[in-house]
Amino acid sequence: MDEAEKEVVRRFLREFKQIATTGRGVDIVARRKNMQSLAQLGLTKRNCIAIILGFSVEDYCDGPKPDKDRPGAIWEFGQVIEEKEVYIKLKIAQVGEVKLAKCLSFHIAEHQLCFPYREK
C-alpha cells in the first residue's frame, strides 16, 4: 500500500486523538443504532473512547468523504468486538475556533468492512 495514503490516515488519527485528549473529549452521537449496539456489546461510552484512542492505520476502512449533512470530512474505521465487526465513523468538526472530536457512528456493521491497510 502507498505510504503517502497511510500518512494521511496517520495525520487524521494524530489530530483526532490530540483534540480528544486535550479538548473536550470525544462526543459520541447518541443515535438509537449506536446506543443499541453499545448495549448489545456491553460497552460504555468510556469503553468506546478507549477503543477509538487505540486506533491505528490498520483499523482504517475508508475516507475522507464529504459529510452530507454538515461541513467537514467523514472517516470510517472498524474493530472486531465480541466477535462482531463494528463500524465506527469519526469526524473532526469545526465550531467557530474550536475543533471537536466526534464519533458519528459506533454500531455493529451492516456490511462486511474492508481494511485496506491490514495484512491478510
- CATH number for the domain that contains residue 70: 3.30.2310.40
Strands laid side by side in the 60-66 sheet: 26-28, 98-108, 84-95, 73-81, 60-66
- Residue range 34-92, pLDDT digits in tens: 999 999 999 998 899 999 999 999 999 999 999 888 888 999 999 999 899 999 999 99
Going by the DSSP 8-state scheme, the letter that residue 117 receives in this structure is: T
9 is a domain residue: yes
The residue that leads in pLDDT, 54 or 30, is 54
* Residues making up the chain, counted from first to last: 120
Rounded-to-integer distance, Cα 66 and Cα 43, Å: 29
114 is a domain residue: no
Yes or no: say if 10 and 57 are a contact pair by the CB < 8 Å rule.
yes
119 is a domain residue: no
55 is a domain residue: yes
> Which pLDDT does position 25 carry in this prediction?
84
14 is a domain residue: yes
Do β-strands 98-108 and 26-28 pair in parallel, antiparallel, or remain unpaired?
parallel
118 is a domain residue: no
30 is a domain residue: yes
Q: How many domains does the chain have?
A: 1
Q: Which domain holds residue 53?
A: 3-108
42 is a domain residue: yes
Rounded-to-integer distance, Cα 62 and Cα 109, Å: 14
Distances from the Cα of 9 to the Cαs of 13, 21, 105, in angstroms? Answer: 6, 18, 18
Confidence of residue 120 (pLDDT cuts 50, 70, 90): low
